[in-house]
């Protein structure tokens, strides 16, 4: 196989199966095997997307959901990184923090929804709080283990070259833990959308989750399916951005350079 042909296949082959599924779905519904009342055709979902975009409704809800997700993730990731670093670096940090974090981590954070509604009502704070809570733990865990997994020989070498404190952290500890931290980021980004969907479906007056709930009231199945497709696309975009960071920050690691080891 020629390299050019291989690149083309590399690029387009992953889309073949989704495309076939969509075509099969269109055929199933339009040929009457499934009632369009239960499942709209892909074409009518597209049409709903076009209609809501034109009216400005979709961009409005999309933007609100994106803001909630981003803000919640930023807060949660910062807290996870900070606590993970503290307990990864110091004996005191681990003894004081780790078991408490592990206990809280094992509580399904969505179980807190009734309490969160009680504390924050149904406005923005509630959703951002839930997203932050959901995303903090994977980053905490992976930061902690990333720091603990750093080669002790490298630390000894860096110390013998006079590195300590901040310099040791930025030159050795943080880059050494980065592959693990980015695994945590990918996992957290998935949890970010999951948490937001649930939070918006239960209590919201805007956002994609609200759009879906509202459509269900009026039996607009095309809009419901549209929101599901949107979540899939948003999830894929979040994952792509994490992979972009991996390719950028882990260039030194042959495993992330696309296999181009010389």
Partner 1 sequence: MSPSTLFHPRDGFPEPHAETHDSAIYREISATSRPRAGSHLKLEGIAKRFGKLAVLDRLDLEIPGGQLVAIVGRSGCGKSTLLKLIAGLETLDSGQLSADDQPLSAHRDDTRLMFQEARLLPWKRVIDNVALGLAGDWRPRALEALREVGLGDKAAMWPAQLSGGQRQRVALARALIHQPRLLLLDEPLGALDALTRLEMHALIEKLWQRHAFTLLLVTHDVAEAVQLADRVIVLEDGRIGLDLTIPLPRPRQPASPGVSALETRILHRVLGRSEPDGDEASPHASRPPTP
**C-beta closer to partner 1: residue 79 or 250:** 250
Per DSSP, helices labelled H in the chain are 3-12, 16-30, 42-54, 57-89, 91-93, 99-105, 113-120, 124-148, 152-160, 165-168, 174-202, 208-217, 221-249
Rounded least distance, CB 212 to partner 1, Å: 43
The residue (of 92 and 244) whose beta carbon lies closer to partner 1 is: 244
Where along the sequence are the contacts to partner 1 (CB under 8 A)? 153-154, 156-158, 160-163, 167, 171-172, 175-176, 178, 250-254, 261-262
CB of 79 to partner 1, least distance (A): 25
End-to-end alpha-carbon separation of the chain, Å? 22
Q: How far is the CB of 160 from partner 1 (least distance, A)?
A: 6
Smallest distance from partner 1 to CB 176, Å: 7
Q: Which residue, 73, 64, 76, is CA-closest to 101?
A: 76
CA distances to 3, 48, 191 from 216, in Å: 49, 14, 24
Pick between residue 56 and residue 258 the one whose CB is nearest to partner 1: 258
Report the residue number, 27 or 252, with the smaller CB distance to partner 1. Answer: 252
């Amino acid at each position: 196989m020629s390299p050019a042909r291989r690149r083309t296949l590399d690029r387009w082959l992953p889309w073949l199966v989704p495309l076939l599924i969509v075509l099969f779905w269109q055929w199933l519904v339009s040929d009457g095997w499934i009632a369009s009342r239960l499942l709209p055709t892909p074409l009518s979902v597209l049409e709903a997307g076009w209609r809501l975009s034109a009216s400005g409704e979709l961009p409005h809800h999309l933007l609100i959901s994106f803001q909630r997700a981003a803000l919640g993730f930023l807060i949660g990731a910062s807290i996870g990184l900070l606590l993970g670093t503290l307990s990864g670096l110091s004996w005191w940090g681990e003894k004081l923090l780790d078991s408490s974090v592990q206990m809280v981590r094992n509580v399904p954070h969505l179980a807190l929804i009734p309490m969160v509604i009680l504390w924050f009502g149904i406005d923005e704070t509630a959703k951002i709080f839930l997203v932050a809570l959901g995303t903090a733990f994977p980053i905490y865990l992976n930061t902690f283990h990333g720091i603990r997994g750093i080669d002790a020989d490298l630390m000894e070498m860096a110390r013998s070259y006079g590195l300590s404190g901040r310099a040791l952290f930025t030159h050795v500890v943080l880059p050494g833990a980065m592959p693990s931290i980015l695994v945590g980021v990918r996992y957290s980004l998935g949890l970010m959308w999951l948490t937001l969907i649930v939070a918006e479906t239960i209590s919201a007056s805007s956002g994609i989750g609200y759009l879906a709930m509202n459509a269900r009231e009026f039996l607009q199945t095309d809009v419901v399916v549209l929101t599901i497709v949107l979540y899939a696309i948003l999830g894929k975009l979040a994952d792509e951005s994490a992979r972009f960071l991996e390719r950028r920050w882990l260039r030194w690691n042959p495993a992330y350079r696309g296999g181009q080891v010389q």
